[in-house]
Amino acid sequence: MQLIPAIDLKDGHCVRLKQGDMDQATTFGEDPAAMARKWVDEGARRLHLVDLNGAFAGKPKNHGAVKAILAEVGEDIPVQLGGGIRDLDTIEQYIDAGLRWVIIGTAAVKNPGFLKEACIAFGGHIIVGLDAKDGKVATDGWSKLTGHEVLDLARKFEDWGVESIIYTDIGRDGMLTGINVEATVRLAQGLSIPVIASGGLSSMADVEALCAVEGEGIGGVICGRAIYTGALDFAAAQARADALNGRG
């Protein structure tokens, strides 16, 4: 089980939001590259970046911070990024810059033809982020709830060749209320590609609960507010996950 630290970028800084609300941003660092190095030094084997300004603007906005992070750790571990990715040129620029995966969220739902083209052009580099509440997919920075069922969309995207699905329970994200393990497992059981859990990780108990169901197809979990506030010690949590899964 990979624990994947999230670095959310807003105006070049590292922040965390509550339930995707840009007005509820807490700044945790002024130097994203230094933050990336910190997590790698603590045992991270993958990083998750989000261009928050880009997600709301519909185009990349934190180029400088992303490039600085890639320059700092891109040779050491793979990095994935979401937020504002709406065209093939943007994907190509990011992959050429050293990103391993790009994450397509809102555009995957609203413009599925773009996602299909991206999977054809950049096979193995495309992850879809599905944000949901009560089983329904949300878009546009979580501001709009659609009528799409998560599993139905995920199965279609799997057929097109996406590498994995990041599943976020938006009712829990940033709230430290615990991962929605049951919903994540249900999604993973319906797919053959990995599902990465996201939204609400708050304690070592969450890590242990996910490790217990890793065999269902859950490939990792994104760690946000908990590792920034100190509610969860990242290095200890990754070590615990490794021990539970026979790596320790």
What type of residue is 105?
G
* Residues designated catalytic: 8, 131
Query: What is the rounded distance in angstroms from the CA atom of residue 140 to the CA atom of residue 108?
Result: 11
List the one residue out of 135, 137, 133, 136 whose CA is nearest residue 105.
137
Q: What is the pLDDT of residue 248?
A: 56
| Burial environment of residue 44 by CB neighbours within 10 A (0 to 12, 13 to 18, 19 or more) | buried
> Which residues make Cβ contacts (< 8 Å) with residue 67, sequence separation at least 6?
97
Query: What is the rounded distance in angstroms from the CA atom of residue 34 to the CA atom of residue 13?
Result: 11
Inter-axis angle of helices 32-41 and 63-73, nearest 10: 30
Do residues 227 and 14 lie in contact, with contact meaning Cβ atoms separated by under 8 Å? no
Q: Residue 136 phi/psi, 5° resolution?
A: -105, 140
Give tens-digit pLDDT for 230-244: 999 999 999 999 999
In order along its 248 residues, the chain shows pLDDT tens digits of 999 999 999 999 999 777 667 777 788 889 999 999 999 999 999 999 999 999 888 899 999 999 999 999 999 999 999 999 999 999 999 999 999 999 999 899 999 999 999 999 999 999 999 988 888 898 876 667 888 999 999 999 999 999 999 999 887 666 667 788 999 999 999 999 999 999 889 999 999 999 999 999 999 999 999 999 999 999 999 999 999 987 75
Give me the torsion for CA of 31, 37, 40, 41, rounded to 10°: -120
Q: What is the pLDDT of residue 121?
A: 98
Query: What is the rounded distance in angstroms from the CA atom of residue 122 to the CA atom of residue 196?
Result: 20
Query: What is the rounded distance in angstroms from the CA atom of residue 158 to the CA atom of residue 23?
Result: 34
